[in-house]
Amino acid sequence: MRIVISGASGFIGTALSARLLGSGHEVLRLVRRPPAGTGEAYWDPAAGQLDEAVLDGADAVVNLSGAGIGERRWTKARVRDIIDSRLRTTRTLTAAMGRLGTPPGTFLSQSASGYYGSSRAGLLREDAGPGRGMLATLCVDWEAAAHTAPAGVRVVTPRTGVVLSPDGGALGPLLPLLKLGVGGPLGNGRQYWPWISLVDEVSAFEYLLNSSLEGPVNVCAPESADVNAIVAQLAAALHRPAFLRVPAPVLRLALGSHLAEELVLANQRMEPARLMDSGFAWQHPALADAARWVASGGK
């Protein structure tokens, strides 16, 4: 397939591009600087600018653009940037598709587990409604923007959880601390994180590009785990202790209450029901498998 990707230089985008190229697909990366070669094309989503000819002949478009959610405190300006960087890019892509006589057949536009809000009881399958909070509202609007794609385009909105990687990824500064033996659970550790290994994340995206699934798809591992279990398994795989718990008040003080509550302390026991029902196979279905993969440096 010929696949156009926005956000291709990001954490997931870099791994996905490599995976798709390795599978024999043609990948065109959208960039906001002068293109470095034939594998890149310029766009300016902040201004809503994208030459629709870039998408002409593409089989699929993958939208991974967006400012980092947990990289810094949520000031009003930062929250606006988090929102705008997602909605503007998505609308720029769907508008360009709409100007084509024959748009790409598939639009895979990233969403997140934040759709379900910061504190939900029970298993969260794709038919669960949205929760409350900034991230939930954003994800609702983000998915709605994806569905402004032209009629006939198969729209998929993967709700991704915490992506585990040897390079840290969503674990941020926690993984280096665990490697030093000075890490530990966050808050009481009983909050569920919908985790998935990076290799399974990109495998799921490639699977969704080739499948007939559409609409929301929970992208996480089939095994549920709370933060206590995730930290314990990672520490065990690294052969390090993990007893230095970071209390919730300290997290709220360090990160800001809204970011801490909606991202780090959020309880989301998400289940990948549609992936399981469709026959997707995980390389790391169990947390112990993923922890060993992370500890081995991805080998």
User: 178-205, pLDDT tens digit by residue?
Assistant: 888 878 888 999 999 999 999 999 999 9
Is a pLDDT exceeding 90 seen at residue 20?
Answer: yes
Contact 136, 230 (CB under 8 A): no
Residue 58 and residue 127: Cα distance in Å, rounded? 30
pLDDT higher than threshold 90 for residue 168:
no
DSSP track, 199-229: HHHHHHHHHHHHS---EEEEES-SS--BHHH
Q: How far is CA 156 from CA 75, 210, 248, in A?
A: 31, 11, 35
Q: Distance between CA 77 and CA 231 in Å, rounded? A: 32
Q: What is the mean pLDDT of residues 54-83?
A: 94
Report residue 173's pLDDT band, with 50, 70 and 90 as the boundaries: confident
Over residues 206-210, mean pLDDT: 97
Q: Helix, strand, or coil here: 155?
A: strand
